[in-house]
Amino acid sequence: MQDPSSIVEIRGVSKSYRRGSHVVPVLSDITFDIARGEFLAIMGPSGSGKSTLLNLIAGIDRVDTGTIVVGGEDITSLSETELARWRAGNVGFIFQFYNLMPVLTAFENVDLPLHLTGLSRSQRREHVEMALAMVNLTDRMEHYPAQLSGGEQQRVAIARAIVIDPVLLVADEPTGDLDRKSAEDVLNLMDRLNREMGKTIIMVTHDPHAAERAHLLRHLEKGVFNST
């Protein structure tokens, strides 16, 4: 059952939220694998549990039952602190609303995850400059998020996600807030990261254009995968 080429193994995962007195089931008994180097898109109607599933895989939310193994590590058995440390070293996040720190420059935003590593100042600078070059924003390093367009902000966010050289990139509606041109840039970038750097990418979206760019598409509906 265990496939050595899988980077993510999800086994019987269920998740529900408590809303007041009654329990809302969100995911029920989900089992699937994601291969190393995959570019997976998860689609589905709003409220179907896409974000919840992504959060579970990325280790920012907890399963009710089931296990999730990422890169050989059973993240469902980690403590809160261990999980934070694991995320810091293994997962790059891209959000719909970029989520940059408004008080920090593009450079500092990308530098932020590196402060949790043991890298020296000059090593960090090197990594940050490389990441910003990769998203083609070298000339915007000293700009604050408010001085950047949405597309540029999302590219800074991508630089922040890849600067730690993560095993896994997760993106929740990365183009949801962008115009067509900027969305295209971001998708091209993700495609390059996948092809040239071999990054495994899991992208949640309800934009068919975005989903097209992925190599594999899965539909989530009412907490279960539809076979496609």
Partner 1 sequence: MILLKMIMKNAFRRKMRTGLTIVAMGIAILAFGMLRTVLTAWYAGVDASSASRLVTRNSVSLIFPLPLAYYDKIRHTSGVRAVSYGNWFGGIYISEKNFFANFAVEPRSYLGLYPELMVPEKQKADFLRDRRGFIAGRKLADRFGWKIGDNVTLKGTIFPGDWDFVLRGIYEGRTKTVDETMFMFSWDYLNEGVKKMYPSMANQVGFYVIGVADPNLSAEVALEIDAMFANSRAETLTESERAFVMGFISMTEAIVMVIRIVSLVVIVIILAVVANTMAMTTRERFGEYAVLKTLGYSGWHIGSLIMGEALLITLAGCLLGLAMTYPMVRFFTTELGAYFPIFYVEPLTVWLDFGVAALVGTAAAIIPMRQAIRIRIADGLRRIG
Ligand X SMILES: Nc1ncnc2c1ncn2[C@@H]1O[C@H](COP(=O)(O)OP(=O)(O)O)[C@@H](O)[C@H]1O
Q: Would you give the distance in Å from CA 101 to the centre of its chain?
A: 17
Alpha-carbon distance of 207 to 161, in angstroms, equals 21
Stretches 47-55, 59-67, 143-151, 211-219: which one binds Mg ion (CB under 5 A)? Answer: 47-55
For residue 22, what are its two tokens? 């009654």
- The minimum distance between CB 198 and ligand X, in angstroms, equals 27
For 196-213, what is the HEC assignment?
HHCCEEEEECCCHHHHHH
Stretches 40-48, 89-97, 111-119, 159-167: which one binds ligand X (CB under 6 A)? Answer: 40-48
Q: Give the residue nearest to Mg ion (CB).
A: 51
* Residue 19 binding result from Mg ion, ligand X, partner 1, none, given CB thresholds of 5 to 8 Å by partner type: ligand X
Binding of ligand X by 19 (CB under 6 A) = yes
Pick the closer one to ligand X by CB: 36 or 222: 222
Binding of ligand X by 17 (CB under 6 A) = yes
Pick the closer one to partner 1 by CB: 165 or 212: 165
Stretches 18-26, 79-87, 127-135, 154-162: which one binds ligand X (CB under 6 A)? Answer: 18-26
All residues at 6 or more sequence positions from 174 whose CB lies less than 8 Å from its CB, including other chains: 94, 95, 96, 154, 186, 190, 203, 205, 210
DSSP reduced 3-state for 4: coil
Pick the closer one to partner 1 by CB: 6 or 132: 132
Using CB under 6 A as the binding rule, the residues of this chain from 142 to 171 that contact ligand X are: none
x/- binding map, residues 43-62, to ligand X, per CB under 6 A?
-x-xxxxxxx----------
Going by C-alpha positions, the residue among 52, 53, 81, 77 that lies closest to residue 67 is 77
Alpha-carbon distance of 184 to 151, in angstroms, equals 9
Going by C-alpha positions, the residue among 78, 38, 1 that lies closest to residue 167 is 38
Among 48, 51, 154, 175, binds Mg ion (CB under 5 A): 51
Interface with Mg ion (CB under 5 A): 51
